[in-house]
């Protein structure tokens, strides 16, 4: 209340009346001010002598509404849905944020994000808790606070990947580029939790240096930052002679033991790990390393290469062996007596058995074939051993006969190394039939595949099935025979007994209900098909639609209709039970303007009675329907 | 076909997913009882049928819609789908082969260099995203091709797209970006 000079007489004697809010000059009587704005709290006396302050609570966001009747600012008094959502969100943000010890600035920023999200309708179909958590985490990332998504998921008991999905979506939609997580941010927090006392700072510094080193050695790409922090802190603690076990660290850092061990081993592989503590603090190695998974991949590739080389060498060796084998065989042939007796028959049968088996079992399981092979091998070995013994005996018997040196040599060679050769020969000869059988099987397979792969792509969309190249026989194998069907039916019914029983009960229930007449089709949510509305103007169409679709039970539609006939007025927000008098129309329309502005964003499933300009003639509403109001 | 002139990158298609319709109602119980290699899932309402020749798994619904997965090329997928329809025909249903469409193709590819993911994400801000807490790879979504490329720090890529051509184009598009952010190898 500044005392100032009167304009007319120049006198400084001004009388201020707070009740009327006026300033009057006592000299000349000129009124200087009317309705002074004062900032005082006034009290009124209520019933029973209770003093109450005059005024009302107004929320800092949301629409400024008319003074509320009654006390308090409970949410049930006529706020729009959008304001309610925002208020609810703000409360939840504050609740969650305080658990994370975020300061007010962060919470406000989070609320701003939330407002953006709501205005872009991204809250649809997502749990409010997830959205709130994602907004908070966005703030954490942009501000660089040491909060992990894991913390949030711990508080909410929600899977961290679900939260992550929501967070990524919000960040993309709001075009917010969250800077990448730096594991160095987490060090002070974890160090504090590990309780190093006075030396916390030193340990943190050491751990930071270790992390820098790890970054340079490419250990941190693609890894959870918390794991790296854990490893760095563990080593730093040990360096400063604190005994922190792996268990302590993983309790704080929230990774599992295996991960921590792995990080430590990877660090061990880098050349930095060879330095002593002092050297590490002083010196920084120039050389950088490759990422560990890359080196692992290269290691694997090298191993594969080595194996290939070995295989090739083996092949070479085998080649040599087969050369020797061929020579030996030719020698044997020359020196072998003609097959007589039962052994001849055995040898021939052995081979023919193999061949016929292949023909039959070309598509049987390789397991079976291997079993057969094993048997064949054993049989062949046995036979050839007997055979060899016989040969050797005959050789020995023949020695006095034979005069050629070759035969002698062969005989000697055979004698000299019957044992040595017996084993490889049986091995080699025993292997022959099975190798042959396998080879044949492979050719069978190749043949079938070739046959199958000769197809042209038939006409695409005729709907008819193009049968080119589809081997009917093979497909027949996919279908079981009668007997198989029966046995499978038995097995299947036994296995699925419970399900079948449930189905039967359900059917019985349905038939019973049908008889009783209480059967309800619960299957489809039948969308009620309404007839299309015939109307001449937009206003009429809307009235008819509103008629069909009753919005609220709290509106007395008859009264509204009457009001309408008197010349239009408030079809206000549906929670108003009493219609406002037409005298206050001007005020109403103004209020509605503001309210509708806030509702603009809502693609409301509640149809709001849309507006009409004030000057519209009332005779449009002859058809009894809800009045419309001005937008 | 690459921007690098010397080497050619091997793009290996590992999975092709296709759908088609038989235009007739299928009785799942019959299929379950009379077919080999079938798994009936009554709670979901579908039958899984596995073919050996093209190694394919098909999910069959009673409405006649079938999803066919596991093939290693588009042609193989079509062959397998037709084979499946033929076997259903033999079981006695009036099957027509219509609306065959390849829905998704998954391919892997390996760069000969390692990639610095953080730089890569910084350079391609809104299109690429990298969350080490959630997934070790950076995701690069190409909108016009509708393809997604996941880049790992070792330089291997996983590409998914609606058909093989898109996948190849996606790899070509991404290659120069990765080349910029490559990590020079030490050994």
Q: What is the pLDDT of residues A232-275, one digit of tens each?
A: 888 888 888 888 888 888 888 888 899 889 888 888 888 777 77
Instruction: Select from A164, A475, A492 the Cβ nearest to the Cβ of B33.
Output: A492
Q: Cβ separation of B117 and A149 shorter than 8 Å? A: no
User: For the sheet containing A14-17, what is the strand order?
Assistant: A14-17, A22-25, A31-33
Quote the number of domains for chain A: 3
**Separation of alpha carbons A110 and A144, rounded Å:** 14
Distance from CA of B81 to the nearest CA of A (A): 10
Share of chain A above pLDDT 70, in %: 56
Q: Which residues are CB-contacts of A238 (< 8 A; sequence separation ≥ 6)?
A: A244
Label each residue of chain B as H, E or C. CCCCCCCCCCCEEEEEEEEEECCCCCCHHHHHHHECCEEEECCCCEEEEEECCCCEEEEEECCCEEEEEEECCHHHHHHHHHHHHHHHHHCCCCCCEEEEEEEEEEEEEECCCEECHHHHHHHCCCCEEECCCCCCCEEEEECCCCEEEEECCCCEEEEEECCHHHHHHHHHHHHHHHHHCEECCCC
More confident residue, A507 or A452: A507
| Pairing relationship of beta strands B138-142 and B147-151 according to DSSP bridges | antiparallel
Residue A530 has pLDDT above 80, yes or no: no
| pLDDT at residue A62, as a whole number | 57
A324 membership: H or E segment, kind and range = helix A292-335
Domain annotation covers residue A598:
no
Q: For A237-246, which contacts have Cβ atoms below 8 Å and span 24 or more sequence positions?
A: A237/A194, A237/A196, A237/A203, A239/A206, A239/A277, A240/A196, A240/A199, A240/A202, A240/A203, A240/A206, A242/A196, A242/A199, A242/A203, A244/A194
Instruction: Select from B32, B90, B136 the Cβ nearest to the Cβ of A476.
Output: B90
Distance from CA of A503 to the nearest CA of B (A): 11
User: For the sheet containing B98-110, what is the strand order?
Assistant: B38-41, B46-51, B56-61, B65-71, B12-21, B98-110, B156-161, B147-151, B138-142, B128-130
Q: Which of B57, B153, B158 to mutate to test the interface with A (most CBs of A within 10 A)?
A: B153
Q: Which of A219, A221, A225, A286 to mutate to test the interface with B (most CBs of B within 10 A)?
A: A221
Instruction: Select from A164, A291, A488 the Cβ nearest to the Cβ of B114.
Output: A291
Q: Which of B10, B47, B52, B86 to mutate to test the interface with A (most CBs of A within 10 A)?
A: B86
Using alpha carbons only, what angle is made at residue B127 by residues B125 and B132, rounded to the nearest 5 degrees? 70
More confident residue, A103 or A290: A103
Mean pLDDT of A587-612: 45
Q: Cβ separation of A171 and B129 shorter than 8 Å? A: yes
Q: pLDDT, tens digit, for every residue of A107-150? A: 999 999 999 999 998 888 899 999 999 999 999 988 888 888 88
Q: pLDDT, tens digit, for every residue of A299-351? A: 888 999 999 999 998 888 888 888 889 999 998 888 866 656 666 556 555 44
Domain match, A162 and A253 both: no
Domain match, A154 and A202 both: no
Residue A214 has pLDDT above 50, yes or no: yes
Beta bridge partners of B12: B108
Checking ipTM against 0.90, whether it exceeds it is: no
- What's the burial of B49, exposed, middle or buried (CB within 10 Å: 0-12/13-18/19+)? buried
**Separation of alpha carbons A76 and A575, rounded Å:** 10
Distances (CA, A) of A488 to A482, B40, B42, B84: 10, 13, 16, 21
Distance from CA of A108 to the nearest CA of B (A): 25
Q: Cβ separation of A499 and B43 shorter than 8 Å? A: yes
Instruction: Select from A226, A294, A475 the Cβ nearest to the Cβ of B87.
Output: A475
| pLDDT at residue A39, as a whole number | 72
Domain match, A204 and A246 both: yes
Instruction: Select from B33, B89, B152 the Cβ nearest to the Cβ of A485.
Output: B33
Domain annotation covers residue A199:
yes
Instruction: Select from B90, B100, B117 the Cβ nearest to the Cβ of A221.
Output: B117
**Residue-range definition of the domain harbouring residue A106:** 81-179
Distances (CA, A) of A316 to A17, A324, B166: 118, 13, 45
pLDDT, chain A, mean: 70
Domain match, A237 and A175 both: no
CATH number for position A150: 1.10.472.10
Domain annotation covers residue A568:
no
More confident residue, A143 or A576: A143
More confident residue, A627 or A147: A147
Residue at which a domain ends, from A129, A150, A179: A179
- CATH for the B111-180 domain, from 3.40.50.2000, 2.40.30.110, 3.30.310.10, 3.40.50.720: 3.30.310.10
Q: pLDDT, tens digit, for every residue of A357-386? A: 444 444 444 444 455 555 656 665 666 566
The topology (CATH level 3) of B17-103 is TATA-Binding Protein (3.30.310)
Q: Which two tokens stand for residue A174?
A: 């709001």
CB-CB neighbors (< 8 A) of B121 in chain A = 180
Domain match, A32 and A89 both: no
Residues belonging to chain A: 631
More confident residue, A74 or A410: A74
Domain annotation covers residue A407:
no
Q: Are A252 and A193 in contact (CB under 8 A)?
A: yes
More confident residue, A166 or A79: A166
CB-CB neighbors (< 8 A) of B112 in chain A = none
Domain limits, chain B:
17-103, 111-180
The nearest alpha carbon in chain A to B129 belongs to: A168
| pLDDT at residue A587, as a whole number | 46
Residue A610 has pLDDT above 60, yes or no: no
Q: Cβ separation of A294 and B155 shorter than 8 Å? A: yes
| pLDDT at residue A395, as a whole number | 56
How confident is the prediction along chain B (187 residues), in pLDDT tens digits per residue?
444 444 578 889 999 999 999 888 988 888 888 887 888 888 889 999 998 888 999 999 999 999 999 999 989 999 999 988 888 888 888 888 889 999 999 999 988 888 888 888 888 887 888 888 888 899 999 989 899 999 998 889 999 999 889 999 999 999 998 888 887 765 5
Residue A618 has pLDDT above 60, yes or no: no
Domain match, A130 and A221 both: no
More confident residue, A192 or A458: A192
Instruction: Select from A457, A463, A476 the Cβ nearest to the Cβ of B98.
Output: A463
Domain match, A169 and A226 both: no
Q: Are A575 and A588 in contact (CB under 8 A)?
A: no
Residue at which a domain ends, from A253, A274, A291: A291
Q: Which of A222, A448, A482 to mutate to test the interface with B (most CBs of B within 10 A)?
A: A222
A&B contacts, CB < 8 Å: 132
Distance from CA of A71 to the nearest CA of B (A): 49
Domain annotation covers residue A114:
yes
Nearest by Cα to A187 from A232, A246, A235, A248: A232
The nearest alpha carbon in chain A to B136 belongs to: A222
Beta bridge partners of B18: B68, B102
Domain match, A281 and A190 both: yes
Domain annotation covers residue A145:
yes
Domain annotation covers residue A64:
no
Among A31-45, A232-246, A399-413, the minimum mean pLDDT is found in A399-413
Domain match, A240 and A192 both: yes
Whether the model pTM is above 0.90: no
Distances (CA, A) of B37 to A592, B15, B33, B34: 67, 20, 10, 10
Q: Which two tokens stand for residue A365?
A: 């399981």
Q: Are B175 and B9 in contact (CB under 8 A)?
A: yes
- Output phi, psi for B90, to 5 deg: -65, -25
Q: Which two tokens stand for residue A162?
A: 């679900």
Domain annotation covers residue A200:
yes
Q: Are A628 and A610 in contact (CB under 8 A)?
A: yes
CATH number for position A10: 2.20.25.10
The nearest alpha carbon in chain A to B133 belongs to: A224
Mean pLDDT of A473-481: 69
The nearest alpha carbon in chain B to A488 belongs to: B33
Q: Cβ separation of B82 and A470 shorter than 8 Å? A: yes
Distance from CA of A462 to the nearest CA of B (A): 7
The HSE-up count of residue A428 (CA atoms within 13 Å, CB side) is 17
More confident residue, A480 or A116: A116
Domain match, A248 and A283 both: yes
When pLDDT is cut at 50, 70 and 90, the band that residue A92 belongs to is very high
């Amino acid at each position: 209340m500044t005392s100032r000079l009167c304009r007319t007489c120049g006198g400084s004697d001004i009388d201020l009346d707070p009740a009327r809010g006026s300033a009057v000059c006592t000299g000349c009587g000129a009124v200087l001010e009317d309705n002074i704005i004062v900032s005082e709290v006034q009290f009124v006396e209520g019933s029973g002598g209770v003093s109450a302050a005059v005024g009302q609570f107004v929320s800092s966001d949301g629409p400024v509404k008319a003074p509320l009747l009654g006390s308090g600012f409970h949410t049930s008094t006529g706020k729009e849905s959008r304001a309610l959502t925002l208020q609810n969100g703000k409360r939840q943000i504050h609740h969650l944020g305080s658990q994370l010890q975020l300061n007010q600035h962060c919470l406000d920023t989070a609320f701003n994000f939330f407002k953006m999200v709501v205005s872009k309708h991204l809250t649809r179909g997502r749990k409010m808790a997830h959205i709130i958590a994602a907004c908070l985490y966005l703030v954490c990332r942009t501000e660089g606070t040491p909060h992990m998504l894991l913390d949030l998921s711990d508080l909410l008991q929600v899977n961290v990947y679900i939260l992550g999905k929501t967070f990524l979506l919000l960040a993309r939609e709001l075009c917010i580029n969250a800077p990448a997580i730096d594991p160095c941010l987490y060090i002070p927090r974890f160090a504090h939790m590990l309780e190093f006392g006075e030396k916390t700072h030193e340990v943190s510094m050491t751990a930071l240096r270790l992390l820098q080193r790890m970054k340079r050695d490419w250990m941190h790409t693609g890894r959870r930052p918390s794991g790296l922090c854990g490893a760095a802190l563990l080593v730093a603690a040990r360096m400063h002679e604190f005994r922190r076990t792996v268990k302590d660290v993983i309790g704080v850092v929230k990774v599992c033991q295996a991960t921590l061990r792995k990080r430590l081993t990877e660090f061990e592989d880098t050349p930095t790990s060879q330095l002593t503590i002092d050297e590490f603090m002083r010196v920084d190695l120039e050389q950088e390393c490759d990422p560990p998974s890359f080196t692992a991949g290269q290691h694997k590739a090298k191993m594969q290469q080595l194996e290939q080389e070995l295989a090739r060498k083996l092949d070479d060796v085998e080649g040599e062996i087969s050369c020797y084998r061929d020579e030996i065989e030719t020698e044997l042939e020359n020196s072998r007596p003609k097959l007589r007796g039962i052994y001849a028959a055995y040898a021939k049968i052995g081979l023919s058995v193999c061949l016929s088996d292949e023909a039959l079992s070309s598509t049987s399981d390789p397991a079976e074939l291997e079993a057969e092979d094993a048997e064949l091998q054993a049989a062949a070995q046995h036979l050839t051993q007997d055979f060899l013994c016989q040969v050797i005996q005959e050789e020995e018997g023949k020695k006095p006969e034979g005069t050629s040196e070759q035969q002698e040599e062969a005989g000697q060679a055979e004698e000299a190394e019957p044992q040595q050769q017996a084993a490889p020969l049986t091995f080699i000869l025993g292997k022959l039939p099975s190798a042959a059988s396998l080879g044949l099987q492979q050719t069978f397979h190749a043949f079938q595949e070739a046959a199958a792969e000769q197809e042209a792509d038939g006409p695409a969309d005729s709907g008819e099935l193009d049968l080119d190249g589809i081997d009917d026989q093979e497909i027949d194998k996919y279908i079981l025979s009668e007997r198989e069907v029966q046995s499978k039916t038995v097995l299947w019914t036994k296995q699925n007994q419970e399900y079948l029983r449930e189905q039967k009960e359900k059917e019985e229930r349905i038939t019973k209900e049908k008889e009783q007449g209480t059967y309800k089709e619960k299957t489809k949510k039948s969308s009620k098909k309404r007839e299309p509305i015939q109307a001449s103007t937009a206003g009429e169409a809307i009235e008819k639609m509103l008629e069909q679709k009753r919005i609220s039970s709290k509106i007395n539609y008859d009264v509204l209709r009457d009001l309408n006939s008197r010349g239009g007025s408030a079809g206000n927000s549906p929670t108003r039970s009493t219609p406002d008098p037409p005298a206050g129309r001007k005020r109403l329309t103004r209020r509605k303007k503001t309210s509708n502005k806030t509702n603009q964003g809502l693609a409301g499933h509640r149809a709001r009675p849309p507006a009409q300009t004030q000057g519209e003639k009332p005779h449009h509403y002859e058809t009894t329907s809800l009045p419309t109001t001005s937008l | 076909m690459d921007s690098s002139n010397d080497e050619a990158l091997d793009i290996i298609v590992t999975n092709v997913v296709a759908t088609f319709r038989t235009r007739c109602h299928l009785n799942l119980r019959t299929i379950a009882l009379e077919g080999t290699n079938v798994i009936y899932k009554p709670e979901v309402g579908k039958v899984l049928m596995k073919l050996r020749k093209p190694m394919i798994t098909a999910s069959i619904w009673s409405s006649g819609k079938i999803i066919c997965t596991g093939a290693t090329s588009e042609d193989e997928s079509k062959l397998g789908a037709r084979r499946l329809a033929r076997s259903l025909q033999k079981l006695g249903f009036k099957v027509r082969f219509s609306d065959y469409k390849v829905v998704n193709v998954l391919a892997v590819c390996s760069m000969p260099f390692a990639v610095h993911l953080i730089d890569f994400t910084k350079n391609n801000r809104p299109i690429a995203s990298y969350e080490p807490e959630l997934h070790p790879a950076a995701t690069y979504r190409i909108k016009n091709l509708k393809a997604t490329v996941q880049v790992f720090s070792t330089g291997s890529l996983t590409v998914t797209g609606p058909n093989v051509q898109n996948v190849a184009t996606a790899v070509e598009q991404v290659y120069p970006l990765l080349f910029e952010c490559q990590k020079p190898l030490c050994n």
